[in-house]
Structure 1
Amino acid sequence: MEAELVALATAGATALVQQLVGETWEQVRGRVTAFFARRAGTDPETVGAELETVRAELLAAEESGDEQATADAQAEARTEWRARMRRTLQADPAAAAELRALLGDLMPALPAPVSSGDVHNTISGGVQHGAVIQAGSIGRLDLNSRGR
């Protein structure tokens, strides 16, 4: 069970850090703040202020143009909020369902894979000494185009 909580807390912290610097932060801010405030028994404004402090630090690191500073700030924020989420989940197992639902809303859905049907490649004629390319689809292939 502990491994599941750690995995959920890790996913939650990763999504939170992405949202903090994303364009949709204002839309999800209330839900994230409410999640932590209810569980910690604190004032939503206090949690909101903490989140805004982290957001300001992340944005400042991004604006500096220093990739290492940005990566360090993101890693620090993920570590801090992962620990906080893990403690929240340990104290209130019912929070896991709410966090999963929140993550489902925060994380963009992955596009459905495009299926182009089955591919069956066959090589015949004996030993091949040259290059052989097997592919389901090649967008465009021009051989001997001579500058066309």
Structure 2
Amino acid sequence: MEAELVALASAGATALVQQMVGDTWEQVRGRVAAFFARRSGRDVEAIGEELDDARADLVAAGESGDEDATAEAHADARAEWRNRMRRALRDDPQAAAELRALLDELEGGGTTPQQVHIETHNTINGGVYHNTVIQAGSIGRLEPGAGQAR
């Protein structure tokens, strides 16, 4: 298997494991199960249950408070799902494009990223010769003393 597909499978497994323990898992689960079901000929729900079992193992390890057990559970899950993704990519040439699209979605937190468009309109009367006018769409966090010389 070419190196690009191996890297794609690794990235996919890493993103999948991160999503399993994240807040958006329910939004992502169906897409991931469908991806694997299309390549294996198996039922989407059966694969969904396998994903849920893997997630339960990760959550339990995280809740144990044992950092070594948590790291091991994450490594095991990544290895298992990386191998499944590699097989899917090997067996179906169409899978790479779908996995890339799925990864793009996962990087957006499980939802399609939306652009925010803000329009600001100001009217200045009386001139600005001795006054300062600032217009900004967004100003980050302001901290006391920020920007002052020390």
**Normalising to structure 1: TM-score of the pair?**
0.73
Deviations 1:19-46 (A, max 9, x none): 0010000011110110001110001111
Which 4+ runs in 1 deviate beyond 6 A?
none
Q: Which residue of structure 2 lines up, in the alignment, with residue 64 of structure 1? A: 64
The match for 1:20 is: 20
* CA distances 1:103-142 after superposition (whole Å, capped 9, x unpaired): 0000138xxxxxxxxxxxxxxxxxxxxxxxxxxxx95552
RMSD over equivalenced CA pairs, Å:
1.5
**2-structure distance, mates of 1:33, 1:48:** 5
CA distance 1:64–1:4, change in 2 (3 Å): same
Cα distance in 2 between the residues matched to 1:73 and 1:108:
24
Compared with structure 1, are the counterparts of its residues 69 and 141 closer, same or farther at alpha carbon in structure 2 (3 Å cutoff)? farther
Number of aligned residue pairs? 114
User: 1:42 and 2:76 equivalent?
Assistant: no
* d(CA) in 2 for partners of 1:93, 1:56: 31
Instruction: Write out aligned runs for 1:110-121 (5 A).
Output: none
Deviation at 1:16, TM superposition (A): 0.2
| Cα pair distance change 1:141/1:42, threshold 3 Å | same
CA displacement 1:30-70 (0-9 Å, x = unmatched):
10110001110001111011000000000000000111111
Matches within 5 A, 1:1-148: 2-108=2-108, 139-142=147-150
Q: CA deviation at 1:93?
A: 1.1
* Percent identity of paired positions between Structure 1 and Structure 2: 69
Q: Distance in 2 between matches of 1:59 and 1:140?
A: 46
Q: Deviations over 1:63-85 (max 9, x none)?
A: 00111111110000000100110
Distance 1:140 1:99 in 2: 48
Rounded to whole Å, the distance in 2 between the matches of 1:40 and 1:139 is: 58
Amino acid at match of 1:80: E
* SS of corresponding position for 1:75: helix
Alignment gaps of 5+ in structure 2: 110-145
Q: 1:87 to 1:64 in 2, by over 3 A?
A: same
